[in-house]
């Protein structure tokens, strides 16, 4: 604790930046994570984040912006999944496995072609939030704000399509368009959160706060907001924990989220929920 106090007193710039970046990511990850949980798309999130490494490799090869390259590659993987689902005679989970691991392998192979560039692979796999720059923060907040704005706009049709595609379609909610938008939002979130938690742990940051929120929220919108709050708590707790015990920051955030999930399993959470059965629309 004393160590944390001294850190607080100093409030090193890089640590403030890490907090600001992490909170920005948590805010966007909350509602999208809920949609992933509701739609049973956890493995889809995993596939997109695995393909992010291919984006990193291509960005280094072509010397373009890493976040932009990750977004493009994730979006392409999402689109190719849609195409493969329509044509191939494989089940979705096999297709996802194929896309996830082949893009990961392609990324690792591509990185090997960069002998002159020393790549910090661990940084990409597990995140390097303490090295977040001001530009990274700007990217996270502009990208995150765009995601949230679009999400608010398509929320009703996206949620209706989540409950029942045919009812949404019959009643003019254009669920196909909403699903396409959702794919791009996912690609954006993966691109902007990669630096914070790393390729391997993005899905955890999406899913665990949402799963925890499910225990205490009684409406979809309430669950999304709760997931945001829990994500912020996990980021803050995880970062301070990583300072205190000198642990890697990305995994520490995920561990903090896991602890929150376990706390929500306690009977206390159920009692809170019973006490307020009604939620506004």
Partner 1 sequence: MFDPTTSLLTLKNVGLNRGGRWLVRGVDLSVHRGESVTLIGPNGAGKSTTAKIALGLLAPDEGQAAQAPGLKVGYVPQELSIDWTLPLTVRRFMSLTNRLSDADLRDALNMVGIGELCDVEVRYLSGGEFQRALLARAIARNPDVLVLDEPVQGVDFSGEIALYELIGEIRRTLGCGILMISHDLHVVMADTDCVVCMNGHVCCQGPPRIVAENPEYLALFGARAAGALAVYEHAHDHTHLPDGTVRPAEGTLTESCRTDNGHHGHDQNNDLAGHAR
Positions that interact with partner 1 (CB under 8 A)? 37-38, 40, 156-157, 159-160, 162-164, 166-173, 214, 217-223, 277-279, 281
Q: Residue 236: CB partners within 8 Å, gap ≥ 6?
A: 19, 22, 23
Q: Please choose, from the candidates 219, 202, 218, the residue with its C-alpha nearest in 3D space to the C-alpha of residue 253.
A: 202
Asked whether the CA dihedral 144, 147, 150, 152 is positive or negative, the reply is: negative
> What are the Cα distances from residue 33, in Å, to 145, 204, 276?
16, 9, 24
Q: Please, what is the minimum distance in Å from the beta carbon of residue 168 to partner 1?
A: 6
CA-to-CA distance for 273 and 19, rounded, in angstroms?
30
CB nearer to partner 1: pick between 7 and 165: 165
CB nearer to partner 1: pick between 4 and 163: 163
CB nearer to partner 1: pick between 76 and 216: 216
Q: Please, what is the minimum distance in Å from the beta carbon of residue 78 to partner 1?
A: 21
CA-to-CA distance for 247 and 48, rounded, in angstroms?
26
Q: Please, what is the minimum distance in Å from the beta carbon of residue 278 to partner 1?
A: 4
Q: Please choose, from the candidates 60, 39, 37, 41, the residue with its C-alpha nearest in 3D space to the C-alpha of residue 49.
A: 41
Task: Pick left, alpha or beta for residue 154 (phi over 0 → left; psi -120 to 50 → alpha; otherwise beta).
Answer: alpha
Q: Please, what is the minimum distance in Å from the beta carbon of residue 222 to partner 1?
A: 7
Q: Please, what is the minimum distance in Å from the beta carbon of residue 154 to partner 1?
A: 13
CB nearer to partner 1: pick between 141 and 159: 159
CB nearer to partner 1: pick between 170 and 265: 170
Q: Please choose, from the candidates 22, 13, 46, the residue with its C-alpha nearest in 3D space to the C-alpha of residue 241.
A: 22
CB nearer to partner 1: pick between 52 and 168: 168
For residue 190, give both structure tokens: 């993966």
Count of CB atoms situated within 10 Å of the CB of 243: 20
**Residue 68 near residue 123 (C-beta atoms within 8 A):** no
Q: Please, what is the minimum distance in Å from the beta carbon of residue 37 to partner 1?
A: 5
Q: Please, what is the minimum distance in Å from the beta carbon of residue 280 to partner 1?
A: 8
CB nearer to partner 1: pick between 65 and 218: 218
């Amino acid at each position: 604790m004393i160590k944390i106090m001294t850190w607080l007193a100093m409030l090193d710039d890089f640590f403030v930046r890490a907090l600001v970046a992490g909170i920005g990511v948590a805010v966007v990850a909350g509602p999208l994570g809920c949609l992933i949980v509701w739609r049973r798309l956890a493995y889809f999130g995993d596939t997109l984040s695995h393909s992010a490494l291919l984006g990193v490799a291509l960005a280094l090869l072509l010397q373009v912006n890493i976040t932009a390259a990750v977004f493009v590659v994730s979006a392409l993987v999402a689109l190719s999944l849609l195409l493969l689902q329509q044509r191939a005679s494989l089940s979705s989970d096999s297709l996802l496995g194929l896309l996830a691991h082949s893009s990961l392998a392609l990324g690792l192979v591509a990185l090997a072609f960069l002998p002159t560039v020393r790549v910090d692979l661990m940084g990409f796999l597990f995140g390097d939030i303490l090295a977040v720059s001001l530009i990274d923060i700007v990217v996270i907040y502009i990208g995150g704000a765009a995601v949230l704005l679009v999400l608010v706009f398509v929320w009703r049709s996206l949620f209706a399509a989540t409950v029942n595609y045919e009812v949404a379609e019959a009643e003019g909610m254009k669920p196909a368009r909403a699903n396409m938008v959702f794919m791009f939002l996912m690609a954006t979130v993966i691109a902007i959160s990669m630096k914070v938690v790393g390729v391997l742990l993005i899905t955890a940051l999406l899913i665990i706060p949402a799963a925890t929120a499910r225990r205490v929220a009684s409406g979809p919108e309430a669950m999304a907001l709760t997931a945001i709050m829990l994500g912020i708590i996990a980021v803050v707790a995880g970062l301070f924990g990583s300072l205190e015990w000198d642990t890697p920051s990305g995994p520490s955030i995920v561990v903090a989220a896991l602890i929150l999930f376990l706390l929500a399993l306690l009977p206390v959470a159920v009692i809170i929920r019973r006490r307020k059965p009604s939620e506004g629309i």
